[in-house]
Amino acid sequence: MGLFGNKSACELCGKKLGGLAFKYELKEGYLCNDCGLKAGYIPLTTISKYKTVEDVKKDIDEYDDYLLYKANLVENFVPARSINNLLLVDEANKLFGIPQGKKKDPKVFEYKNLIDCDYLEDGNSMTGGGLGAAVAGGLLLGGVGALVGGITGNKKTKVNINKMQVVLTLDNMREPSITIDILPGATKKGGFIYNSYFQTVQNLLSAFAIILEDNAKSSDLISDSKGEFVRNDDPTEQLRKYKSLLDDGIITQEEFDSKKKQILGL
């Protein structure tokens, strides 16, 4: 391997790289297509340029673990509910799945992977930027209808809607978001077809709100100052949360003190 790497062979497996063969550029040299796939790299992205061969080996190990983890999720997935066949829910194992067609496995996630959920009409957020903040603020007690309600109310402006999409934000950089397309073609807003698909949207949003609420109740998630969920491993953050509950009079000084001891392991 020279200073500028070898253009004719894969740095990892040594496979010969023809002039036209698809390859990933590394910090030094090149990686063949197969090795790039094993590392989970996406063709035509440029991250491999920052990697050494040692980095690639690490990436391959991590990607292996990730694929195994995802395969286990699919194996353990026993959905008991289906929301219009767009969402499958396994409440017992706290898993949810997004069907990918009849012949493919659904994409399966743990409840805790869901950070936020938004409903978009022709690309515009109809929930004021996602359900997460509303769930954190206890604003969903009236149901998601209250949040997205009024959308159907205005029947004077029958504009065409081309896209109704529910978009999930996930805690996973490999798959940061998932879009669920609800509407197969353009339709008049407020019309019969729109309204029936909108019912599906409401069902989906309600189901995702339940999942988000479940996450919020489990102690490893807290809502930050912007009302967004963050994973909470930090005892300082946990203490801040309980301090604010104390300040708001939701818990007593005694309860705070005992929580503090517990968190700090005193």
* Residues engaged in binding Zn ion (CB under 5 A): 10, 12-13, 15, 32, 35
Shortest spacing between CB 35 and Zn ion, in angstroms: 3
The secondary structure element, H or E, covering residue 217 is: helix 192-217
What minimum distance in Å lies between the beta carbon of 15 and Zn ion? 5
* Residue type present at position 224: D
The residue among 38 and 189 lying less far from Zn ion, judged by its C-beta, is: 38
Least Å from the CB of residue 176 to Zn ion:
27
Which of 37, 230 has the CB closer to Zn ion? 37
Q: Is 258 helix (H, G, I), strand (E, B) or coil?
A: helix
**CA pair distance 87, 96, nearest whole angstrom:** 7
DSSP character for 16? B
CB of 93 closer than 8 Å to CB of 81: no
Q: Which two tokens stand for residue 96?
A: 């949810």
To Zn ion, the closest distance from the beta carbon of 13 in angstroms equals: 3
Name which of 13 and 68 has its Cβ closer to Zn ion. 13
Kindly state the smallest distance separating residue 23's Cβ from Zn ion, in Å: 9
Closer to Zn ion at the Cβ: 9 or 251?
9
Determine the longest span between alpha carbons in the chain, in angstroms.
72
71 vs 51: CA distance, rounded Å: 27
CB 164, CB 187: distance < 8 Å = no
User: Of the two residues 33 and 165, which places its CB atom closer to Zn ion in the complex?
Assistant: 33
